Amino acid sequence: MSGEPQPAGGSALVPEEMARANLYALVGRLFYDAPDSILLAEICREEGEPAGEVGAVGVAWSALRGAARSAYPAVLKQEYDTLFVGVGRAQVTPYTSHYIPGNSPDRQLVRLRELLAQWGLARRSAAFEVEDHVSGICDVMRFLVLESRPDEEQRLFFNEFAYAGCIPFFDSVTGSVSAVFYRHVADFARAFFELEKTAFEMQDL
C-alpha cells in the first residue's frame, strides 16, 4: 500500500497497540515473501512471547522461533514458491477474496478497494499483488492501528476482510503437505488473529 502510516496526530501509541501493529507487520512480511537471514535472526532474537502474550499465541510463537533457528533462507524460498507461487497455479492462493463466502471474489475486491480509497490507500504502482493478498490485508490492519482509527472501524475491517479471509487461508496452509516452516507461520498467525477476534468481541460487552 502506498504511504507510510504514522500514529494519528503525532502521538505515541501505547505499547500494546504498537505490539499489535508490529505483529500485523510480521505476519504480512512472512506471507509476502520468504524470510531472509536477517528476519530469521530477528525472530530468533526475540525473547519470550510477543507483547507478553501467553496461551495459544505464546505456544505458537515459541514453535515459530524454534523453526526459525534451524531454517535456511534458500530452503524457505523454495517452500514459499511451492506453496504460494507454483507453476501455473499455487497450491494455496494467498488472495483472501477466494476464501470469503457470500460474495464473488470480484465483488469482494471492489468493496475492499472502496474502503481503501476512503482511507487514502492504494496499491503501489510497482506492486504485482492484488489488494486482497493476505500481506496487503495485514498491511491495512497495521495502518488502522498506527493511525489510531476508531475501534469500530478496525473491527469492521477485521471481521469483513481480515478474519473472514485470512483464517481459512491459514488453515489451508496448515493443511498443505508442502508446508513445513510455513505451518508454524500459519499457526502463529491464526492464534494472533483469534486473539484479535476475542479482543474485538470483548469491546461489545
Name the class of domain 15-202: mainly alpha
pLDDT at site 10: 44
Residue 199 CB neighbours (<10 A) = 15
Pick from 143, 183, 152, 187: which is nearest to 167 by CA? 187
Pick from 150, 131, 166, 165: which is nearest to 200 by CA? 150
Whether residue 68 contacts residue 43, with contact meaning beta carbons closer than 8 Å, is answered with yes
What is the distance between the alpha carbons of residues 202 and 205, in angstroms, rounded to a whole number?
5
pLDDT at site 2: 43
Q: What is the mean pLDDT of each run of 10 residues along the chain (205 residues)?
A: 45 86 98 97 79 78 96 97 85 93 81 90 68 95 95 95 96 97 98 96 79
pLDDT at site 4: 45
Whether residue 76 contacts residue 180, with contact meaning beta carbons closer than 8 Å, is answered with no
pLDDT at site 7: 44
pLDDT at site 126: 55
What is the distance between the alpha carbons of residues 105 and 131, in angstroms, rounded to a whole number?
12
Whether residue 71 contacts residue 34, with contact meaning beta carbons closer than 8 Å, is answered with no
